[in-house]
Copies of this chain bind each other. A is one copy, B any other.
Amino acid sequence: MTVRSAAIRVIVRVSTCNLGDGPGLATRYRCVVDLTARIGSGEGGFVLFAVTPPRRSTPAERLPKIANATIERLSHLDLDGLVLYDIDDESSRNPVERPFPFSPTVDPSEYRANHMHQWRTPVIVYRAVGKLQREDLRTWIEEQDPRHTLTVMVGAASSGALPAVSLADAQAMRADLNPGLLLGGVAIPERHSRRENEHLRLIAKQAAGCSFFVTQVVYDLNAAKDLVSDYRYACESRGIIPVPIVFTFSVCGSMKTLEFLRWLGVDVPRWIENDLRHAADPLAASLEQAVTTAGELIEYCRRLGVPFGINVESVSIRREEIEASVELATQLIRRIRT
């Protein structure tokens, strides 16, 4: 039996995995096999939700409550996995003042281990490798169980920084110490619009061990399609099989969120800015736009034969924006499974 057909069988079984009475071990195991098996065999078709751990200044006794509230909010969704971001101070990358002041967040791996162990499906833990000491990263890589954990390694925010561990070092350590640990890389369609070589960066990351990519939030459909298309044909000409690209979507319900997205390098269209200033329900407009953009990318990737996943993130911590993100994930799960 090929790996691909094994993974497909798992998908079929998984369709029943959330119908049980509780997260029993067998159920958990089947779910766990699902995302890792699919990415491991180069298949897409999964939906993730991305969470940023709380600020490090949060009182310790509040962390379990926050984690439980997140699990509670997301547990009724049929998510294939969770993403935990690792926030680095990117002010070295962007001289413009950060719209939200930078505040260090709890280490995603610690947050997961201490507070998110109730979460049933695999977790993709981001690692801003520039923040870590070599020994700490080594230990972390060695300790991870590849059935439950995947990682996305992110380099230092600015090429001017001199971190203890470079992205290339970290990628090599993963390949050496725990080659079964599935590694992802970031993909930035906006960078492709400007430099037209992001597809080649993805192929280089693939050679360094990446078996999936996660984009930053997508607002420019043509930029995302351009990247997928260039990547697919560059793979073909090199005899490489494309790996899943996970497209991230979000809602934008306030000017503050919009400013922050732009600060992060996302090209948010002017019409969304206008909607935010004038529309009766900008959050609903943004939700509708994200559903439509995702729908088009899904159709496009299917037509092109590039495996893909969906990731939904709430950029803001405002309750109504978080709830709209959950609604976005609900709609995209429905869309991707039909």
Contact = CB atoms under 8 A, between A and B. Distances in A.
Interface string A118-145: 0000000000000000000000000000
Interface in A38-93: none
A100 interface: no
A226 B292 contact: no
Interface string A256-267: 000000000000
Interface residues of A, number: 25
A327 interface: no
A225 interface: yes
B303 A270 contact: no
A270 B226 contact: yes
Given A221-B221, A278-B233, A296-B292, A271 B303 contact: no
Interface in A188-226: 196, 219-222, 225-226
A274 interface: yes
Contact of A230 (B196, B229, B270, B300): B270
A292 B221 CA distance: 12
Contacts of A269: 222, 225-226
A94 B76 CA distance: 57
Nearest to A232: B274
Contacts of A274: 229-230, 232-233
Contacts of A285: 303
Contact of A222 (B221, B225, B236, B277): B221
Nearest to A234: B274
A274 B228 CA distance: 10
Contacts of A292: 296
A232 B219 CA distance: 21
A220 B274 CA distance: 18
Nearest to A224: B271
A295 to B, nearest CB: 9
A292 B300 CA distance: 11
Contacts of A225: 269, 271
A292 B225 CA distance: 14
Contacts of A229: 270-271, 274-275
Contacts of A232: 274
A230 B272 CA distance: 10
Chain B CB within 10 Å, residue with most, of A222, A232, A285, A296:
A222
A316 B127 CA distance: 51
A103 B109 CA distance: 67
Nearest to A267: B222
Nearest to A278: B233
A196 B271 CA distance: 12
14 contacts: A221-B221, A222-B222, A222-B269, A222-B271, A226-B270, A226-B271, A229-B270, A229-B271, A229-B274, A229-B275, A230-B271, A232-B274, A233-B274, A233-B277
- Give the top 3 A-B pairs by smallest Cβ distance, nearest first: A229-B271, A225-B271, A229-B274
